[in-house]
Structure 1
Amino acid sequence: MTGTSEQKRATGRVWLITGANSGFGRAIAEAALAAGDTVVAAARRPETLDDLAAAHPDRVVPVRLDVTDQAGIAAVVADTLLWYGRIDVLVNNAGRGLIGAVEEYTDRELRDLMELHFFGPAALTRAVLPHMRAQGSGAVVQLSSMGGRFSFPGVGAYSATKFALEGLSEALALEVAQFGIKVLIVEPGAFRTSFAGAGALAQAAVIPAYDSVVGPVRTGLPESDGKQPGDPAKAAAAILAALDAERTPLRLALGNDAVDAILGNLDAAGRELREWEKVGRSTDLDAE
C-alpha cells in the first residue's frame, strides 16, 4: 500500500488493474491514462510501477497486492474508494502459466493456480460490486485466454482456471446488467507479453510417457517469447473500445490466432453436437 489515506482527485474514470506492471495489465493502464483516466495500479512489486507513476504523478497510484490475499484485496478496494470515492473499471489481469499433462500436476499446483486465476478475481469482483451497484455503473474486465474456450495438451490446468472464470463471469454478466454494470471477458491469443518469458512459465514434473504430446508445448511456448504476433497496445485499445461501445460484447477474442482457433473449435463442437443430437434427444422419459 502507499501508506496514505488522503483523499485524491480523480480525472476521468477510476480503474483498478491487477498485474499492472507488465503485459496486458501495463498496456491497459497506459491506454486508460492516454484516455485521460486515473489508474490504481496493483502489483506484487509496486516499485516496478515507479516510472509510470512518475510520468503521471496525479493519475497513477501504485499499490501492493497479491490477489490471493483476501485481506489485501479488501484493503486495496477500501483505500481506492477512500481516495476517489468510486471504482469505474476493475481489470482482473494478474496471472501466470503452468505447463504439464493432467497426470503430471500436483494438487498444490492446481490449487495455487485456481487461487490466482479464479478465487482472487472472484473476491475482487465481489468487493467492488456493492459500490458499482450503488453508483449504477461500472465494468468488470476478466482477462481470460483463447484457452478459456478450448484446451489442448499441456495446458489443462491453465485452461481449467480460465474455464471456471468464464463460467462465473457469464452468470455475473446476466446478474449485474440490471445495475448498469458491464462484464467483458477478454480472450487473447499469443501476444508479446512476459507470459512466455524466461522464468514466467511454471513446469510440472515430467512423466516421459507424455513427451510426444506435451513436449512440443514445453519447448514451443518459451521459444515463442518475443515472436508472438499480438501487440498488447492494440489489445488494450480494443478493450477500451469494447467497454465504450453501446453494446459491449460478453467475450472479446483478440488476435488472428485466437479468432481462428475459437471459430474452429465452435464449428467442431457444433458438428459433434449434431452428430450425437439424436442420441441426446432419445434420453427423455417420453422419447420414442
Structure 2
Amino acid sequence: MGKVWLVTGASRGLGYEIARAALAAGETVVATARSVEAARDAFGSDQDRLHVLPLDITDSGAAKAAADKTVERFGTIDVLVNNAGYAELGFFETFTDAAVRHQFEVNLFGTMNVARAVTPHMRARRSGLIVTISSVSGLVSNAGGAVYSASKFAIEGWMEGFAQELAPLGVRSLLVEPGMLRTDFMDGKSAGFGSIDIPDYAEAVAQYRSFVYGANGNQPGDPKLLAARIVALASQGDPPSRLVFGDDARRWASAKADQLRAEITQSVDH
C-alpha cells in the first residue's frame, strides 16, 4: 500500500499536484478540500489508493473527523501535507480587521487544526512526517505582502518550535518555502485584495495589482516539479527540515540572510 498521505487543499494547485505525485509513486492518498465535489471533479471517484473527503480546515471538528476516518479506513497517516491556504495581497491599511483575521484563521489556525488532529496518531506510532506548505513569504516580506507574510511568518515560528517538540517522538517535519509557482494561487479563487481606498497608497496599490495580474499564470516555478521533490523527500529516512524551492525563492531568502548577518554585525555592543 505504501505510505498513507492526507493532503489538504487537494482539489487544485500545488495540493492537487502533490496528491497526484504521491499516487503515481504508489502511495495511498486521502485528498481533502472544502468542496468534495471539486475534489471529485479533480480526481474522479474513489479508488483503492484514493479517498476524497470534504474538509474546511477552519473547523477543528471536521479536521479531527477527517483524521479519524483516514486512520479507520487505512490504519495510519504516514504523511500529512498541510497545504490549504489563500493570500490577502495588498497594502495593510486597505484591509479590514475581519479580512486580516480571516487570513490567520485559514493559514495559521486552520493549519494548526489539522496538525492537532493528525499528530496524536503519529505520536502513538512514533512515526510520521508533517509537510507544511509555507512560502518564501514566510521568510521575506515586501510591500503588498504584509498580511499574507504575517500569516506565513507565524506558521514558520510555530512549526519550527513544534517540530523540535515532536522530533524525540519520531515525528518529522518539512517546511516547504516555494517562490512563485505556476498555479492559480494569484487569481480570485486564492487571492484577495484590500477593500479600503486610501489615496496615499492609490498609485502604489495600482502598480502592485498590475504586477499580480501580470504574474498570474506566468510564474517561474513548476508545481509538478515541487510535488515530485516533496514525494521524493518523504521517502528519505531523514529529510531536511526546510525546502526552499525555486531560483526566485533562493535569491530572496539568501538576500534576507545576508541582510540579517549585516544587521547582526552592526548590532554588536561596543
> Which bin holds the TM-score, normalised by the shorter protein?
over 0.9
The DSSP-based 3-state class of the residue aligned with 2:187 is coil
Aligned-CA RMSD value: 1.6
Q: Alignment partner for residue 202 of structure 2, among 174, 192, 211? A: 211
Distance 1:167 1:47 in 2: 34
Instruction: Give the drift of 1:85.
Output: 1.4
Aligned to 1:25: 15
Instruction: Name the aligned partner's letter for residue 64 of structure 2.
Output: A
Distance 1:180 1:163 in 2: 25
The DSSP-based 3-state class of the residue aligned with 2:77 is coil
Aligned to 1:196: 186
Q: Does 1:225 align with 2:216?
A: yes
Ranges of 4+ aligned residues in structure 1 off by more than 4 Å: none
Instruction: Give the drift of 1:155.
Output: 1.0
Aligned to 2:139: 149
TM-score by length of 2: 0.95
Structure 1 stretch 187-196 or stretch 208-217: which is displaced more?
A: 208-217
The DSSP-based 3-state class of the residue aligned with 1:81 is helix
Distance 2:129 2:190 in 1: 29
**Contact (CA 8 Å) 1:104, 1:204: kept in 2 or not?**
yes
Q: Does 1:58 align with 2:52?
A: no
Aligned to 1:240: 231
Aligned to 2:259: 268
Unaligned runs of 5+ in 2: none
Aligned to 1:8: none
**Contact (CA 8 Å) 1:189, 1:254: kept in 2 or not?**
yes
Q: Does 1:71 align with 2:85?
A: no
**1:212-237 Cα distance to aligned partner (Å, 9 max, x none):** 44433222112211111111110011
Instruction: Name the aligned partner's letter for residue 49 of structure 1.
Output: A
Instruction: Name the aligned partner's letter for residue 250 of structure 1.
Output: S
**Contact (CA 8 Å) 2:11, 2:31: kept in 1 or not?**
yes
Aligned to 1:286: none
User: Percent identity over the alignment?
Assistant: 41
Q: Does 1:97 align with 2:87?
A: yes
**Contact (CA 8 Å) 1:191, 1:229: kept in 2 or not?**
yes
The DSSP-based 3-state class of the residue aligned with 1:67 is coil
**Contact (CA 8 Å) 1:101, 1:154: kept in 2 or not?**
yes
**Contact (CA 8 Å) 1:198, 1:222: kept in 2 or not?**
no
The DSSP-based 3-state class of the residue aligned with 1:277 is coil
Map 1:77-156 onto structure 2 (within 5 A). 77-156=67-146
Instruction: Give the drift of 1:198.
Output: 4.2
Structure 1 stretch 244-253 or stretch 53-62: which is displaced more?
A: 53-62
Aligned to 1:249: 240
**How many corresponding residue pairs?**
269
The DSSP-based 3-state class of the residue aligned with 1:72 is helix
Unaligned runs of 5+ in 1: 1-10, 283-288
